[in-house]
Structure 1
Amino acid sequence: MSMTLLNENLDLSSPSFKKNAHEIYKHLRRHDPMHKITMQNGQIGWLITRYDDVAQALKDDLRITKDRRDQSTIPPTVKHLFDHLLATDPPDHTRLRSIVSKAFSPKIIESLHSQIQQITEELIDRIESKGAMDVIDDFAFPLPIAVLSRMLGIPEEEHYLIREWSNAIIAAASDNQKIKEALPSIEAFAEYIETLIIQRREKPADDLISHFVYAHDNGEYLTAQEVSSMIFLLIIAGHETTVNLIGNGLLALLENPDQLELFKKNPHVAPSPIEELLRYYSPVEIGTVRWAKHDFTWYEKTIHQDDLIFVSISSANRDPEQFEQPDRLDLTRTKNKHVAFGNGIHYCLGAPLARLEGKIALTALLRRLPNLSSAIDFEELTWRPGILMRGLVRFPVSF
Structure 2
Amino acid sequence: MTPHHTETATEPLTEPVPLMGCPYKADPYPLYERMRDTGPVHRVLFPSGVRAWLVTGYDAAHSALNDDRLGKNHDRGNDRWRARASIMPEPQHSQLQVHLLHQDPPRHTRMRRFVTDAFTPRRIEGLRPRFQQLADALIDALPETGPADLVTGFAAHYPFQVLAEVIGLPKELAARFDRDWGKVVQPVGPTDPGRPLYEARLHGLQSYIAEIVSHKREHGDDDLLSRLVVARDHGELSQEELDSMIFQLLVAGQEPVTNQITTALIALFRHPAELARLRDDPDLLPRAVEELLRYDSAFELTTWRFFDKDSDLHGTEIPAGDSVIVSLCAANRDPRRFPDPDTLDLDRSPNPHLAFGHGIHFCPGAALARTELRIALGTLLRRLPGLRLAIKDEDIEWIPAVLGRGTNHLPVGYDRRL
Pair 172,293 (structure 1): closer, same or farther in 2 beyond 3 Å: same
Q: Residue 65 in 1 paired to residue 71 in 2?
A: yes
Which of 101, 104, 108 is the equivalent residue of 2:116?
101
Structure 1, 141-150 or 83-92: larger mean CA deviation: 141-150
What do residues 299-336 of structure 1 show as CA deviations (whole Å, max 9, x unaligned)?
A: 44321000111100011001101000000001100121
Shift of 1:82: 1.0
Pair 98,158 (structure 1): closer, same or farther in 2 beyond 3 Å: closer
Shift of 1:373: 0.5
Q: How does 1:234-273 map to 2 (within 5 A)?
A: 234-269=249-284, 272-273=287-288
Q: Percent identity?
A: 37
Secondary structure, in 3 states, of the residue corresponding to 1:331? coil
Q: Residue 91 in 1 paired to residue 106 in 2?
A: yes
Q: Residue 141 in 1 paired to residue 147 in 2?
A: no
| Separation in structure 2 between the aligned mates of residue 204 and residue 299 of structure 1, nearest angstrom | 49
Pair 22,294 (structure 1): closer, same or farther in 2 beyond 3 Å: same
Pair 334,84 (structure 1): closer, same or farther in 2 beyond 3 Å: same
Which of 124, 129, 132 is the equivalent residue of 2:139?
124
Which letter maps to 1:201? R
Structure 1, 244-253 or 347-356: larger mean CA deviation: 244-253
| Separation in structure 1 between the aligned mates of residue 171 and residue 124 of structure 2, nearest angstrom | 21
2:286–2:374 CA contact under 8 A, matched in 1? no
Relative to the length of structure 1, the TM-score reads 0.91
Structure 1, 38-47 or 251-260: larger mean CA deviation: 38-47
Which letter maps to 2:213? I
Aligned twin of 1:313: 328
Structure 1, 105-114 or 233-242: larger mean CA deviation: 105-114
Aligned twin of 1:74: 88
RMSD between superposed Cα atoms in Å? 2.5
1:45–1:307 CA contact under 8 A, matched in 2? yes
What do residues 197-247 of structure 1 show as CA deviations (whole Å, max 9, x unaligned)?
A: 02211221344321211248xx76222221111111111111022112211
Shift of 1:39: 5.2
Secondary structure, in 3 states, of the residue corresponding to 1:172? coil
Shift of 1:74: 3.1
Q: Residue 45 in 1 paired to residue 52 in 2?
A: yes
Which of 10, 17, 41 is the equivalent residue of 2:24?
17
Which letter maps to 2:405? R
Structure 1, 93-102 or 219-228: larger mean CA deviation: 219-228
Shift of 1:44: 3.5
1:22–1:315 CA contact under 8 A, matched in 2? yes
| Separation in structure 2 between the aligned mates of residue 223 and residue 232 of structure 1, nearest angstrom | 14
Secondary structure, in 3 states, of the residue corresponding to 2:312? strand
Shift of 1:12: 2.9
Aligned twin of 1:384: 399
| Separation in structure 2 between the aligned mates of residue 14 and residue 225 of structure 1, nearest angstrom | 36
Aligned twin of 1:165: 181
| Separation in structure 1 between the aligned mates of residue 8 and residue 185 of structure 2, nearest angstrom | 28
2:299–2:403 CA contact under 8 A, matched in 1? yes
Which letter maps to 1:56? S
Aligned twin of 2:36: 29
Pair 205,298 (structure 1): closer, same or farther in 2 beyond 3 Å: closer
Shift of 1:88: 0.4
Secondary structure, in 3 states, of the residue corresponding to 1:36? strand
Secondary structure, in 3 states, of the residue corresponding to 1:269? helix
Pair 43,383 (structure 1): closer, same or farther in 2 beyond 3 Å: closer
| Separation in structure 1 between the aligned mates of residue 62 and residue 191 of structure 2, nearest angstrom | 29
Q: Residue 333 in 1 paired to residue 348 in 2?
A: yes
| Separation in structure 2 between the aligned mates of residue 360 and residue 244 of structure 1, nearest angstrom | 15
Secondary structure, in 3 states, of the residue corresponding to 1:268? helix
Aligned twin of 1:281: 296
Which of 192, 209, 215 is the equivalent residue of 1:199?
215
1:12–1:386 CA contact under 8 A, matched in 2? no
Secondary structure, in 3 states, of the residue corresponding to 1:302? strand
